[in-house]
């Protein structure tokens, strides 16, 4: 199908290019003849007809290319051979576990109850001010979220070698197409009326598109970027799922890791990127496991994905907190991001990777739940205390304030 279209396009291209070649040379000839004062009427007439033909050919080719392009944009990426094959998440493969879920001598509360009792989260007023699936962070809750953002950014920039970017939080449709959100997933995003702008669902979009339409010198690779951004997701089709708490919001914060590298090392880079994200959970001493998504659970654009799942006591399960993927050249083709091989030669597509390092809302939820005490207070993880001005504990307010 694709092959046939492509061949027909190429054939037509040859024909039209021959005609253009003739037009160019004859036009030049006409110029010369006119200068010499000779009659050129016949040639002009002939060229008029030829130009018309060329116009028709160009139109045909354009139509074929558009059709071809549409076909291409709707095709998902090919899964990597190392991932488990299966129809859905039941076939995902657990790679490893880290830490041991704490044994609570009391029934652990869900984070939204803790947050409301501590007066650091306010879902009700967010519902009034905006709507469902939004939250206010308040007092030490806001402080905790802010501390986590800085904590993550510092580790990734200082220890893991990522260069920080603060991206635009809106992007145009071309960028959304480049990373694979468009055209297929338009309903998952917030589109700004009367514009070509979308609120970003993840910093992956602006950061990956940073190098769109560029040819990078191979010496510059690999490129590592880390970016904090809020993320906006319409969560279409998620009615009734995770309706309470911070797990599934229309807006949440995230620190995102993005890599660009030559094809040869992209799987090595995926392991490193995943390990970088894991570091955050380890420093926060949050139990988690790493899962390799099966072919059926894999996203549209990814070739291989590791999910990091953090332990949430009130759920009694692990929940996704980071998703680390290798897109191979899928995004690079769409966004036309290439590199020139060190030895010279034709530009090749880079491989792109990204992963959350980490999603903030879920991290906050995990800290509240895993570090809760019987009286409803929260112990701040050791590693985070410098970012909290030395605060060790978030205690319930003496009197209910509002």
Q: Are 368 and 115 in contact (CB under 8 A)?
A: yes
Q: Which of 1, 14, 264, 400 binds RNA (CB under 7 A)?
A: 14
Active site residue 283: no
Q: Is the dihedral of CA 130, 132, 133, 137 positive or negative?
A: positive
Active site residue 323: yes
Q: Which of 96, 128, 239, 346 binds RNA (CB under 7 A)?
A: 346
Nearest C-alpha neighbor of 284 from the set 391, 161, 393, 152? 152
66 touching RNA, by CB under 7 A:
no
398 touching RNA, by CB under 7 A:
no
166 touching RNA, by CB under 7 A:
no
Per-residue contact flags (x/-) with RNA for residues 323 to 342, judged by CB under 7 A: ------------------x-
Q: Within 10 Å of residue 161's Cβ, how many Cβ atoms?
A: 12
CB of 25 to RNA, least distance (A): 6
Active site residue 320: yes
Instruction: Please say which residue, 15 or 91, places its beta carbon nearer to RNA.
Output: 15
CB of 7 to RNA, least distance (A): 8
Contacts (Cβ under 8 Å, ≥6 apart) of 70: none
Question: How many chain residues touch RNA (CB under 7 A)?
Answer: 29
Q: Are 53 and 19 in contact (CB under 8 A)?
A: yes
Q: Within 10 Å of residue 69's Cβ, how many Cβ atoms?
A: 10
The active-site residue out of 214, 285, 320, 348 is: 320
Q: Which of 28, 67, 94, 268 binds RNA (CB under 7 A)?
A: 28
CB of 346 to RNA, least distance (A): 5
Q: Choose the binding region for RNA from 6-14, 133-141, 156-164, 393-401 (rule: CB under 7 A).
A: 6-14
24 touching RNA, by CB under 7 A:
yes
Instruction: Please say which residue, 5 or 295, places its beta carbon nearer to RNA.
Output: 5
Task: Tell me if the bond preceding 154 is cis, omega within 30° of 0.
Answer: no
Nearest C-alpha neighbor of 143 from the set 387, 327, 318, 325? 387
23 touching RNA, by CB under 7 A:
yes
Contacts (Cβ under 8 Å, ≥6 apart) of 11: none
CB of 26 to RNA, least distance (A): 6
Contacts (Cβ under 8 Å, ≥6 apart) of 370: 102, 286, 287, 311, 312, 313
Active site residue 241: no
The active-site residue out of 248, 283, 333, 340 is: 248
Subset of 198-257 contacting RNA (CB under 7 A): 215
CB of 133 to RNA, least distance (A): 27
Question: Chain centroid to CA 339: how far?
Answer: 21
CB of 6 to RNA, least distance (A): 8
Q: Are strands 348-349 and 351-359 parallel, antiparallel or unpaired?
A: unpaired
Q: Which of 5, 8, 30, 184 binds RNA (CB under 7 A)?
A: 30
Residues 276 and 270: their CA atoms lie apart, in Å, by 10
1 touching RNA, by CB under 7 A:
no
Subset of 43-62 contacting RNA (CB under 7 A): 44, 47-48, 51, 55
Q: Are 106 and 314 in contact (CB under 8 A)?
A: no
Residues in the chain: 402
Q: Choose the binding region for RNA from 19-27, 173-181, 247-255, 297-305 (rule: CB under 7 A).
A: 19-27
Task: Tell me if the bond preceding 222 is cis, omega within 30° of 0.
Answer: yes
Tokens of 387: 């970012």
The active-site residue out of 212, 233, 334, 338 is: 233
CB of 45 to RNA, least distance (A): 8
Question: Chain centroid to CA 72: how far?
Answer: 20
- Distances 164 to 70, 322, 325, 329, 353 between C-alpha atoms, Å: 34, 19, 19, 23, 16
CB of 30 to RNA, least distance (A): 4
- Distances 166 to 49, 225, 229 between C-alpha atoms, Å: 55, 10, 7
The active-site residue out of 323, 325, 334, 338 is: 323
Residues that bind RNA (CB under 7 A): 10, 13-14, 17-18, 20-21, 23-28, 30-32, 34, 44, 47-48, 51, 55, 215, 341, 343-347
Query: What positions carry a catalytic annotation?
Result: 233, 248, 320, 323, 362
């Amino acid at each position: 199908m694709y092959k046939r279209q492509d061949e027909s396009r190429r054939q037509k291209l040859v024909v039209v290019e021959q005609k253009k070649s003739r037009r160019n040379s004859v036009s030049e000839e006409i110029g010369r003849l006119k200068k010499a004062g000779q009659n050129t009427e016949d040639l002009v007439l002939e060229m008029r007809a030829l130009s018309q033909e060329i116009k028709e050919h160009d139109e045909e080719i354009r139509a074929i290319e558009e059709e071809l392009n549409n076909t291409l944009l709707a095709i998902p990426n090919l899964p990597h051979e190392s991932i488990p094959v299966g129809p859905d998440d039941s076939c995902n493969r657990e790679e490893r576990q880290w830490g041991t879920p704490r044994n609570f001598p009391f029934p652990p509360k869900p984070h939204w109850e803790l947050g409301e009792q501590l007066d650091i989260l306010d879902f009700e007023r967010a519902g009034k001010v905006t709507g469902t699936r939004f939250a206010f962070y308040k007092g030490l809750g806001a402080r905790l979220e802010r501390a986590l953002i800085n904590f993550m950014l510092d580790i990734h920039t200082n220890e893991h070698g990522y260069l920080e970017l603060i991206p635009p939080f809106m992007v145009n449709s071309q960028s959304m197409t480049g990373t694979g959100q468009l055209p297929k997933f338009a309903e998952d995003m917030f589109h700004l009326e009367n514009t070509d702008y979308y609120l970003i669902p993840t910093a992956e979009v602006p950061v990956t598109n940073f190098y769109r339409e560029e040819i990078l010198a191979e010496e510059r690779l690999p490129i590592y970027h880390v970016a904090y951004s809020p993320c906006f997701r319409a969560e279409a089709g998620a009615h009734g799922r995770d309706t309470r708490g911070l797990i599934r919001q229309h807006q949440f914060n995230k620190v995102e890791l993005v890599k660009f590298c030559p094809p040869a090392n992209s799987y090595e880079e995926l392991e490193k990127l995943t390990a970088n994200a894991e570091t955050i959970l380890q420093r926060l001493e949050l139990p988690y496991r790493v899962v390799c998504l099966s072919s059926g659970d894999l996203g549209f654009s990814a070739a291989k994905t590791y999910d990091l799942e953090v332990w949430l006591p009130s759920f009694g399960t692990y929940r996704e907190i980071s998703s680390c993927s290798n897109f191979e050249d899928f995004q690079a083709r769409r966004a036309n991001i290439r590199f020139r091989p060190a030895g010279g030669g034709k530009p090749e597509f880079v491989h792109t990777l990204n992963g959350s390092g980490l999603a903030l809302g879920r991290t906050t939820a995990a800290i509240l739940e895993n570090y809760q005490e019987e009286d409803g207070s929260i112990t701040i993880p050791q590693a985070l205390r410098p970012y909290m001005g030395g605060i060790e504990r978030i205690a319930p307010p003496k009197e209910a304030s509002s």
